[in-house]
Chain A
Amino acid sequence: MTYITCRDLKLGYDGRVVTEGINFEVNEGDYLCIIGENGAGKSTLMKALMNLNKPISGEIEFSDEINRREIGYLPQNKEFQHDFPASVQEIVISGCLSKCGWRPFYSASEKKTAEDNMRQMDIWELRKKCYRELSGGQQQRVLLARALCATGKLLLLDEPVTGLDYKVTCEFYSLLSELNRSGVSIVMVSHDLEEAMGHANKILQISREQVFFGDKDAYLMSESWKSFHQHHKDHCHKKEQEGVFRYEHC
């Protein structure tokens, strides 16, 4: 079943084109990784999928299977608002808001959804805790639980592991795979190539224009992968020498 079909997207800001010629689709059960150099327009594409900015041209079509609001979004692990007073349960249940319509308060079933998701993400014990006092990994699990409150169908993740340490990153990825196996489609922008190749079943590589879209296995045989991978390795190697970046297999 197809959820989203993108046809000939041209994306950018203020009329300046960042990337164009984007064609792909997201199906039920997909694990799609969007890869590309910095500034290739990955986050812009993500924002377009979330309806936060309009494509310059082309169309993004949501099938009848999925409502535009049935999207769970996980932002980059940016320094949120480090002094924001919010408890874990307040943040998680805010994912249910789109189901409320004009109703001002959450219903019992939405509270139950929030509880189920907190238990699934193993943060139920932390529910009264303040978000700013949690570790990076715990914070990501809170945001993941919030995203799951908004949808059981499609998660959009924008470099979700930035700033997390190795162990937490691995835990986070296995959590994602588990969700994917249980039927949640995943669209993820990632820097982490090894990981992308490990779990994803589809790859979208973009640059000024679309480089590749298709199954991972086909991508691994393609020229685009070879050159991109080589480039990426050089880049990481350089960074490693500078001592800022450790690149490991999960």
Chain B
Amino acid sequence: MSIADTLTLYFSYPFVRYAFVVAIVVSLSASLLGVTLVLKRYSFIGDGLSHVAFGAMAIASVFRMINNNVIVLPLTILAAVLLLRSGKNARIKGDAAIAVFSVGALALGYLIMNVFSTSANVSGDVCSTLFGSTSLLTLDEGEVWFSVVLAVLVIGLFIFMYNRIFAVTFDEDFANATGINADRYNLVIAILIAVIIVMGMNLVGSLLISALVIFPALTAMRLYGDYRGVVVCSAVIAVVCAAVGMLLSILTSTPVGATIVTVNLVVFIVTSLIRRA
């Protein structure tokens, strides 16, 4: 079968089309927020949150929730708010707090999944929560709409607050002095990150979601010197990488999440090398 035939065949299945849509909207929203995250030195918050989301997912699976997101989303948002506060005035400093959260959630999640196992294949469940893998192809229409609605919300809010996010990211003191409540925007940013991570869980799994957030932003920062250029470039890279990654994973039967992240990684390395040369 030729490549075109294979793709036509696959795209005749609704679940492949769903997965394609989800991959693109999730990557797009992750990359938009990623620029802010990288510039605010929040990259690790994304990583920590994804582990929290894993723990929450474990709890949800124990309760045999029909829709995991009912538990996972609020818990991850809560963790995002706590992590942001801890960066400021808690006794445990930012990076240590993130480590506590992420490792703690990871351990608890795995423990819960083992002890209260409801499925025959615990390691399979764990693996797919961590790395995405097969769950993407079993998305139903409802989950696709959930992702699309959240993505539209994230992208809409980002565009609406674009200038303020820039001001708060570039110089928090100045923003505060001119009457912009920087804390409020930091909070919104943290919540958006949490939402994106939960959206990305199904796509690439909790271990790999940070890659979707960070890689496009880092690549774009190597290519552009102005903020708008970086944001637009990061979005374009994310969408292209997601599409290419999806197609590759269909053609070569590789895990979707890992393939998309690898494509991102390759683009990052290639641009780095080109900039060096």
Complex interface bits, A80-102 against B, C-beta within 8 A gives 1, otherwise 0: 11011111001100110110100
Given A98-B179, A150-B178, 7 further pairs, Cβ under 8 A? A73-B174, A84-B39, A86-B227, A90-B227, A94-B171, A95-B178, A105-B163
Task: Scan residues 56-110 of chain A and give those whose CB is less than 8 A from a CB of chain B.
Answer: 68-69, 71, 73, 75, 80-81, 83-87, 90-91, 94-95, 97-98, 100, 104-106
In the complex, the answer to whether B226 meets A130 with C-beta atoms within 8 Å is yes
Which residues of chain B have C-beta atoms less than 8 A from A97's C-beta? 163-164, 167, 175, 178, 180
Task: Scan residues 40-56 of chain B and give those whose CB is less than 8 A from a CB of chain A.
Answer: none
Q: How far is the CB of B159 from chain A (nearest CB, A)?
A: 7
Please give me the residue from chain B that is nearest to A150 by CB atom.
B178
| A94 and B159 contact, Cβ closer than 8 Å, known pairs A73-B174, A80-B171, A86-B226 | no
Task: List the interface of chain A (C-beta within 8 A of B).
Answer: 47, 50-52, 68-69, 71, 73, 75, 80-81, 83-87, 90-91, 94-95, 97-98, 100, 104-106, 128-130, 132-133, 146, 150, 156
Is B177 interfacial (CB 8 A cutoff)? yes
Instruction: Report the contact-size class of chain B (Cβ under 8 Å from the partner).
Output: 20 to 34
| A81 and B173 contact, Cβ closer than 8 Å, known pairs A87-B225, A87-B226, A105-B163 | no
Is B122 interfacial (CB 8 A cutoff)? no
Which residues of chain A have C-beta atoms less than 8 A from B173's C-beta? 47, 50, 52, 73, 75
15 sampled A-B residue pairs with Cβ under 8 A: A52-B173, A52-B176, A71-B177, A85-B39, A85-B230, A87-B225, A90-B227, A94-B171, A97-B164, A97-B167, A97-B175, A97-B180, A98-B180, A104-B163, A133-B225
| A73 and B177 contact, Cβ closer than 8 Å, known pairs A85-B225, A90-B166, A128-B226 | yes
In the complex, the answer to whether A71 meets B163 with C-beta atoms within 8 Å is no
A105 to B167, CA, bound (A): 13
A71 to B174, CA, bound (A): 9
In the complex, the answer to whether B170 meets A50 with C-beta atoms within 8 Å is no
A83 to B108, CA, bound (A): 38
In the complex, the answer to whether A100 meets B177 with C-beta atoms within 8 Å is no
